[in-house]
C-alpha cells in the first residue's frame, strides 16, 4: 500500500515539476460558483481566444475560490519572462482579459493600475500579503483553496494530500481518535460538539456496519463556505471522511449535498471517481462513498432529519437521544460531521494535535470560517483563528461599512443566530463567547448591516424563513413561529399594538422551551436579540409608526425636494419601474405616492449635485405634491 | 433547454408523453427501495423540469407505496415543483445578504412586469418566477438567476431591460425563421 502510494506521489510530483518548469506564462483563473457568477467563464474564453489570435502560448489553469468574492473574477498571471513576480488581478472581465493578454503577455507591461498585488514578496510591487485582508487571516482549512485545480487529484497530492490518510492507515484507529480528541476540534456544523468524543462513541459500538455522513446541506441563506470548500478542494474533505471511516471502523460513507449546488455535486462526483481510478479509494483504502442530493429543506441539515431524508421520508427530526452515533441511518451507528470538520482532519493528522491547538482559544481550537456579506466593502470568505474579535473581522479584514454609513449590527449564525450591536464588536468569535452574547456560531454566516437596515424587518425576515422551513412536527415550532411572524409582520406594516413586545418575548421563550429540534429551539433568537439590543426600534414602529432604518415600506415615503430639483432634468423619470414620477407645473418632478413602490431607484438616479430625492419615516413627513391635471 | 422554442401546448404534451415513457424505463434501473424515492423524483424533475401527476403515480406504483405518500414527500421539499417552469425560469434570491440589499422589491418588480406571482409560469410558458434562499453568491448581492446565468448586483430598474432582451431575442429568431421559410 505504501509502495503504491509512493508511486502515485512520484507521478504527482513529476506533473507538478513539469508545470512549474515550463517557461510559459500561467494564467490562474478562479472558477468556483462565485467566480462564474461574476463572469469567469467569459474571462477564460477571452483569454483562450486572445492567445489563439495572437499566436502565443500560455497555460490556463482553472482553480477554486480563494474567498475574495468582492474581487471576482480573480486572475493570477505568472509571467516569468517579464521579470515580474506572479501578479494578482481583480475583477478581470472580458475587456480586461483582452487588455492584459496584449499589454502584459505580449508587451511585458503588467498595467500596475489594475493589480491588487504580487502573490510573493519582492522589490518591485507591493505584495498582497501587506493587505490586512490577507495577513490577518490564517488559512488552515482553506489553505489550498484557490491554489489547486479542484478537478485534478494529482495537484492535491503534489501539495501533500492523502499523506495523512496513508499515515492513518498505518496507525491504530484508537490513536487517531485520541489525536482528534486532543486537538479539541469541535464540530463546525453549529453546535460545536467535540469531534473526538463523537468518533469515540461510534468506535466503541460493536455493530458490524457503521456509516459516516458528511453534512454539506448548508441551508443557512447567507453562508456558502461549505460549498466553496467542496468546489475548491474536494479531496481534502474526502480524505477527512476516509480517515474518519478508518478511525471508527465504518465501511460506507455518504456525502449529503444540497442539489442547489450543481457545481459542487459535479466536482465531488469527479473527485470520487479520480480517487477510485488511481486506487486510493479501493485498493489503498476500501470505502463505499456515495452522494446523496438534498432537496432544499433547511431542517434536513439537522442530523436526524437528514437521516430521515436519506431513508426516503419527509425530513422530520426525531427526539435525541438516541443520538445518530448510537442509532442512526437504518439503525446503524452513524457519524455525522460538517464539511469543515472533515476538512480540518487531514491537517490535524499531518501536523499533530498540539500544533493545531496553538491556534485559537482554550475551548475553541483552530480556525473559524465566516462568510462575511451584506454591507461591507470586501465581502467574502474569511478564515481567522478562533478568538479574533468581530471588529478585526468587520473593519480590518473586510474593510468596514461602505459609503460612509454607520455600522448598526452584525447578524451571526443565520436563522438560529442573533444580531449584535456595536458594543459587542470586541467580542471574540468562539463557540462560547458568541453563545454568551446571544448569537451563535451556527453555520458561520455573518451579515453586516448599516444604519439603513431595520432590525424589526430583519427579525421578520428570519422568522419568515424559519416559519416556512419548520417541518411541522411539533406544535411550538409550527404554530409558535407562525404567530411570531404574524406579529412581526403587523409591526412592520405599522399595525403594531400596545403589548406586542411583551407578547413576542413570552412566545419566544415558550418556543425555545417547547420545541423538539434545534430549528425551533433557536428560531426565536433573532427576535430575542433584536428585542434586547434594539428595543427602541420596535417601540418606534408601534408607537410613532416610524421605521428608524427607513426600510419598512408601509412606514416610509419618498419625495422630491422642489428646492433642489433641477428644472428640466429627467434623470429619475426613466428609473422608476412604476411610472410614479410626474412633471409638476414648474417643470420639476413629483412622486405619486399611490404608485410609488419605494424601491429607491430614483434616489440612485438623481445626480449627486442635486440630491433632491428624500426618504422619510413616518409617511406624514413627506409633503404632498399633486400631479397636475392634464387638459 | 429541454423544449424547442415555440411548441404549442399540444406539442408540449406530446414531448412530455414521450419523456414519460422514457422515464418509465429509467425508473426500472433503480432498486425497489424506499431510499430511492427522492433520487427517482429528482431524476424525473431533471428530465421534465417538474413532476406531473402521471409521474407521481408511476413512482408510487413502482415503489409499491401510496400516491399520497409520494406527494407527502415531494411537497415537503422545496426542490420539487408541480407546474412546468418557463423557458426562462427566473429565480430571485431572497437569502439574507440579498434581502438586506432589497431583493423583495426586485421580486415584486418581476411579478409586476410579467403579471404573474412567484411560483407561477406565464401563459406562453416563456417565464416563471421563483424565490430561492441563497444561490451562494452573496458577495454579489442582490442576485437573480435567469436560466443558468447569474445576474449580479440586480436593481429594480434592470428588470424591464432583462425581460425585454429575451423578448427581443425571441422576436429576432422568429423573424429569422420567417425569412428562411420565405427564402425556401
Ligand atoms: C435546523 C438545523 C439546521 C442545521 N443545518 C446544518 C447544516 O446545514 N450543516 C451542518 O453541517 N450542520 C447543520 N446542523 C447541525 C447538525 O445537526 C449536526 O449537529 C452537525 O452536522 C454535526 O456536525 P459537526 O459535529 O461537525 O458540527 C443543523 C442543525 C439544525 C438544528
Ligand atoms: S443571499 Fe443571495 S446569494 Fe446568498
Sort strands A334-338 and A211-216 into parallel, antiparallel or unpaired: parallel
Which of A411, A429, A413 has its CA nearest to residue A421? A411
Give the range of the structural domain holding residue A307, as residue numbers without chain letter. Answer: 161-356
Q: Which residues of chain A have pLDDT under 50?
A: none
**CATH architecture classification, B9-76:** Orthogonal Bundle (1.10)
Asked if residue A144 belongs to a domain, the reply is: no
Condensed to tens digits (0 to 9), the pLDDT of residues A17-59 reads: 999 888 889 999 999 888 888 889 999 999 999 999 988 889 9
Same domain, A241 and A350: yes
Same domain, A237 and A311: yes
> Which cell is A174 given?
484508537
| Residue in this structure with the C-alpha cell 452574547, named with its chain if needed | A437
Sort strands A26-30 and A59-63 into parallel, antiparallel or unpaired: parallel
- Mark residue A193 as left, alpha or beta (left: phi above 0; alpha: psi -120 to 50; beta: remaining): beta
Same domain, A105 and A48: yes
B76–A223 CB contact, under 8 Å = no
How many residues would you count in chain B?
184
> Which cell is A157 given?
497530492
pTM, entire model: 0.91
The residue out of A407, A435, A453 marking a domain boundary is A453
Q: In degrees rounded to 5, what are phi and psi of residue A159?
A: -90, 20
A residues 394-433 lying closer than 8 A (beta carbon) to B: 411, 414
Same domain, A443 and A460: no
User: Is B45 in the A-facing interface, judged by CB distances under 8 Å?
Assistant: no
Q: How many domains does chain A have?
A: 5
Distances, alpha carbon B169 to alpha carbons A82, B110, B175, in Å: 44, 18, 10
Are A425 and A394 in contact by the 8 Å Cβ rule? The answer is yes
Residues 6+ apart with CB under 8 A from A349: A164, A167, A168, A176, A179, A243
- Mark residue A336 as left, alpha or beta (left: phi above 0; alpha: psi -120 to 50; beta: remaining): beta
Q: Nearest residue CA, atom 22 of ligand 1?
A: A337
Same domain, A575 and A536: no
Give the domain CATH number at A567: 3.30.70.20
Same domain, A65 and A114: yes
Which of A80, A71, A70 has its CA nearest to residue A27? A80
Residue B138, ligand 2, Cβ within 6 A: yes
C-alpha gyration radius of chain A: 27
Q: What percent of chain A has pLDDT over 70?
A: 100
Question: Distance (Å, rounded) from C-alpha A303 to C-alpha A301?
Answer: 6
pLDDT of residue B10: 62
User: Is B137 in the A-facing interface, judged by CB distances under 8 Å?
Assistant: yes
Are A440 and A400 in contact by the 8 Å Cβ rule? The answer is no
Peptide bond into B142 cis (omega under 30): yes
Which of A437, A436, A381, A385 has its CA nearest to residue A410? A437
Asked if residue A141 belongs to a domain, the reply is: no
Same domain, A478 and A417: no
Q: Nearest residue CA, atom 28 of ligand 1?
A: A302
Chain A: give the shortest CA distance to residue B73, in Å.
Answer: 5
- In ligand 2, the atom with minimum distance to the C-alpha of B95 is 1
pLDDT of residue A9: 95
The residue out of A421, A453, A485 marking a domain boundary is A453
Same domain, A203 and A284: yes
Same domain, A64 and A189: no
Sheet containing A407-412: which strands, arranged edge to edge?
Answer: A380-385, A367-374, A445-450, A407-412, A418-421
Domain B88-183 sits in CATH 3.30.470.20: no
What is the CA(A420)–ligand 2 centre distance, in A?
Answer: 21
- In ligand 1, the atom with minimum distance to the C-alpha of A340 is 26
A residues 245-284 lying closer than 8 A (beta carbon) to B: 259-261
Peptide bond into A75 cis (omega under 30): no
Peptide bond into A404 cis (omega under 30): no
Which of B138, B134, B126, B133 has its CA nearest to residue B168? B126
Residue A30, ligand 1, Cβ within 6 A: no
Asked if residue A14 belongs to a domain, the reply is: no
B156–A599 CB contact, under 8 Å = yes
Sign of CA dihedral A206, A210, A216, A220: negative
What is the CA(A538)–ligand 1 centre distance, in A?
Answer: 31
Are A183 and A198 in contact by the 8 Å Cβ rule? The answer is no
Question: Distance (Å, rounded) from C-alpha A390 to C-alpha A596?
Answer: 38
Asked if residue A146 belongs to a domain, the reply is: no
Q: Which residues of chain B have pLDDT under 50?
A: 1-7
User: Is B21 in the A-facing interface, judged by CB distances under 8 Å?
Assistant: no
Same domain, A568 and A590: yes
Condensed to tens digits (0 to 9), the pLDDT of residues A211-237 reads: 999 999 988 887 888 999 999 999 999
Asked if residue A145 belongs to a domain, the reply is: no
Q: Look up the ipTM and state it.
A: 0.87
Are A447 and A534 in contact by the 8 Å Cβ rule? The answer is no
Give the domain CATH number at A421: 3.10.20.600
Instruction: Determine the residue of chain B that is closest to A572 in CA distance.
Output: B157
A312–B159 CB contact, under 8 Å = no
Chosen for mutation from B139, B156, B160 (greatest number of chain A CBs closer than 10 Å) is B139
Which of A604, A298, A241 has its CA nearest to residue A445? A298
The residue out of A356, A379, A395 marking a domain boundary is A356
Residue to probe by mutation, ligand 1, list A185, A188, A189, most atoms within 8 Å of CB:
A189
Peptide bond into A104 cis (omega under 30): no
Same domain, A46 and A179: no
User: Is A78 in the B-facing interface, judged by CB distances under 8 Å?
Assistant: no
Beta-carbon contacts below 8 Å between A and B? 145
* A374 alpha carbon, closest ligand: 2
Distances, alpha carbon A29 to alpha carbons A143, A262, B135, in Å: 17, 20, 21
Residue A191, ligand 1, Cβ within 6 A: yes
Sign of CA dihedral A365, A370, A375, A378: positive
* A345 alpha carbon, closest ligand: 1
Alpha helices in A534-609 (DSSP H): 535-539, 601-605
Q: Taking the CB of residue A436, how many other CB atoms lie within 10 A of it?
A: 10
| Residue in this structure with the C-alpha cell 405599522, named with its chain if needed | A494
Q: DSSP of A235-286, one letter per residue?
A: HHHHHHHHHHHHHHT-SEEEEEEETT-HHHHHHHHHHHHHHHHTTTBTTTB-
Same domain, A278 and A393: no
Asked if residue A401 belongs to a domain, the reply is: yes
Asked if residue A69 belongs to a domain, the reply is: yes
Instruction: Determine the residue of chain B that is closest to A377 in CA distance.
Output: B139
Residue B132, ligand 2, Cβ within 6 A: no
Residues 6+ apart with CB under 8 A from B156: A577, A597, A599, A601, B102, B105, B106, B109
Q: Where are the domains of chain B?
A: 9-76, 88-183
- What is the three-state SS of A280-308? CECCCECCEEEEEEECCCHHHHCHHHHHH
Amino acid at each position: 500500500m505504501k509502495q503504491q502510494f509512493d508511486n502515485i506521489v512520484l507521478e504527482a510530483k513529476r506533473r507538478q515539476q513539469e508545470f512549474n518548469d515550463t517557461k510559459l506564462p500561467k494564467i490562474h483563473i478562479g472558477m468556483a460558483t462565485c467566480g462564474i457568477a461574476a463572469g469567469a467563464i467569459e474571462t477564460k474564453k477571452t483569454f483562450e481566444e486572445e492567445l489563439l489570435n495572437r499566436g502565443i502560448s500560455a497555460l490556463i489553469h482553472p482553480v477554486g475560490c480563494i474567498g475574495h468574492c468582492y474581487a471576482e473574477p480573480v486572475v493570477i498571471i505568472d509571467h516569468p519572462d517579464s521579470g515580474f513576480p506572479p501578479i494578482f488581478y481583480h475583477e478581470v472581465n472580458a475587456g480586461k482579459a483582452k487588455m492584459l493578454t496584449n499589454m502584459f503577455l505580449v508587451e511585458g507591461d503588467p498595467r500596475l493600475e489594475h493589480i491588487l498585488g504580487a502573490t510573493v514578496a519582492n522589490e518591485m510591487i507591493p505584495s498582497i500579503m501587506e493587505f490586512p485582508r490577507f495577513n490577518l487571516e490564517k488559512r488552515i482549512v482553506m489553505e489550498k483553496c484557490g491554489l489547486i485545480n479542484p478537478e485534478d487529484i494529482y495537484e492535491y497530492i503534489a501539495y501533500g494530500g492523502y499523506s495523512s490518510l496513508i499515515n492513518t492507515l498505518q496507525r491504530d484507529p484508537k490513536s487517531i481518535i485520541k489525536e482528534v480528541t486532543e486537538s479539541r476540534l469541535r464540530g463546525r456544523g453549529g453546535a460545536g460538539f467535540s469531534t473526538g468524543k463523537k468518533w469515540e462513541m461510534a468506535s466503541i459500538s460493536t455493530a458490524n456496519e457503521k456509516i459516516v455522513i458528511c453534512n454539506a446541506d448548508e441551508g443557512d441563506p447567507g453562508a456558502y463556505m461549505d460549498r466553496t470548500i467542496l468546489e475548491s478542494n474536494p479531496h481534502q474533505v474526502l480524505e477527512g471522511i476516509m480517515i474518519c471511516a478508518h478511525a471508527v471502523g465504518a465501511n460506507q460513507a455518504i456525502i449529503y449535498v444540497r442539489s442547489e449546488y450543481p457545481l459542487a455535486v459535479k466536482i465531488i462526483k469527479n473527485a470520487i471517481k479520480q480517487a477510485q481510478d488511481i486506487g486510493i479509494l479501493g485498493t489503498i483504502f476500501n470505502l463505499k462513498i456515495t452522494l446523496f442530493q438534498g432537496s432544499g429543506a433547511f431542517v434536513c441539515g439537522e442530523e436526524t432529519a437528514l437521516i430521515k431524508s436519506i431513508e426516503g421520508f419527509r425530513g422530520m427530526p426525531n427526539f435525541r437521544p438516541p443520538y445518530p452515533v448510537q442509532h442512526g441511518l437504518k439503525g446503524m451507528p452513524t457519524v455525522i460531521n460538517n464539511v469543515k470538520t472533515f476538512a480540518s482532519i487531514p491537517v490535524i493528522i499531518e501536523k499533530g494535535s498540539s500544533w493545531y491547538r496553538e491556534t485559537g482559544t482554550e475551548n475553541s481550537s483552530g480556525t473559524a470560517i465566516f462568510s462575511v456579506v451584506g454591507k461591507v466593502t470586501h465581502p467574502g470568505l474569511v478564515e481567522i483563528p478562533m478568538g479574533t474579535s468581530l471588529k478585526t473581522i468587520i473593519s480590518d479584514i473586510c474593510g468596514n461599512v461602505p459609503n460612509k454609513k454607520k455600522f448598526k449590527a452584525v447578524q451571526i449564525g443565520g436563522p438560529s443566530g442573533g444580531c449584535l450591536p456595536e458594543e459587542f464588536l470586541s467580542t471574540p468569535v468562539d463557540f462560547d463567547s458568541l453563545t454568551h452574547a446571544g448569537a451563535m456560531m451556527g453555520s458561520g454566516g455573518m451579515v453586516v448591516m448599516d444604519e439603513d437596515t431595520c432590525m424589526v424587518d430583519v427579525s421578520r425576515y428570519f422568522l419568515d424563513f424559519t416559519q416556512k422551513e419548520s417541518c411541522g412536527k411539533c406544535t411550538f415550532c409550527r404554530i409558535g413561529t407562525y404567530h411570531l411572524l404574524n406579529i412581526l409582520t403587523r409591526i412592520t406594516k405599522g399595525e403594531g399594538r400596545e403589548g406586542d413586545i411583551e407578547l413576542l418575548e413570552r412566545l419566544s421563550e415558550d418556543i425555545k422551551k417547547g420545541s423538539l429540534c434545534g430549528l425551533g429551539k433557536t428560531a426565536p433568537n433573532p427576535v430575542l436579540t433584536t428585542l434586547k439590543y434594539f428595543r427602541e426600534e420596535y417601540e418606534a414602529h408601534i408607537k410613532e409608526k416610524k421605521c428608524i432604518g427607513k426600510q419598512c415600506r408601509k412606514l416610509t415615503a419618498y419625495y422630491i425636494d422642489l428646492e433642489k430639483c433641477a428644472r428640466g432634468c429627467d434623470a429619475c423619470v426613466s428609473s422608476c419601474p412604476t411610472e410614479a414620477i410626474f412633471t409638476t407645473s414648474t417643470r420639476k418632478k413629483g412622486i405619486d405616492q399611490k404608485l410609488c413602490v419605494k424601491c429607491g431607484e430614483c434616489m440612485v438616479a438623481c445626480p449627486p449635485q442635486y440630491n433632491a430625492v428624500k426618504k422619510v419615516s413616518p409617511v406624514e413627513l413627506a409633503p404632498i405634491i399633486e400631479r397636475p391635471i392634464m387638459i | 433547454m429541454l423544449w424547442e422554442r415555440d411548441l404549442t401546448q399540444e406539442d408540449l404534451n406530446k414531448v412530455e408523453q414521450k419523456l414519460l415513457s422514457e422515464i418509465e424505463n429509467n425508473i426500472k434501473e433503480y432498486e425497489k427501495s424506499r431510499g430511492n424515492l427522492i433520487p427517482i423524483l429528482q431524476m424525473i424533475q431533471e428530465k421534465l423540469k417538474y413532476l406531473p401527476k402521471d409521474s407521481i403515480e408511476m413512482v408510487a406504483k413502482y415503489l409499491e407505496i401510496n400516491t399520497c405518500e409520494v406527494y407527502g414527500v415531494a411537497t415537503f421539499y422545496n426542490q420539487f415543483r408541480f407546474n412546468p417552469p418557463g423557458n426562462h425560469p427566473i429565480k430571485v434570491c431572497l437569502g439574507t445578504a440579498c434581502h438586506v440589499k432589497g431583493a423583495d422589491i426586485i421580486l415584486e418588480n418581476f411579478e409586476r412586469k410579467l403579471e404573474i406571482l412567484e411560483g407561477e409560469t406565464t401563459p406562453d410558458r416563456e417565464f416563471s418566477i421563483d424565490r430561492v434562499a441563497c444561490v451562494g453568491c452573496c458577495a454579489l448581492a442582490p442576485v437573480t438567476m435567469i436560466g443558468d446565468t447569474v445576474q449580479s448586483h440586480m436593481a429594480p430598474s434592470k428588470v424591464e431591460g432583462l425581460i425585454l432582451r429575451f423578448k427581443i431575442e425571441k422576436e429576432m429568431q422568429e423573424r429569422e425563421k420567417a425569412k428562411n421559410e420565405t427564402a425556401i
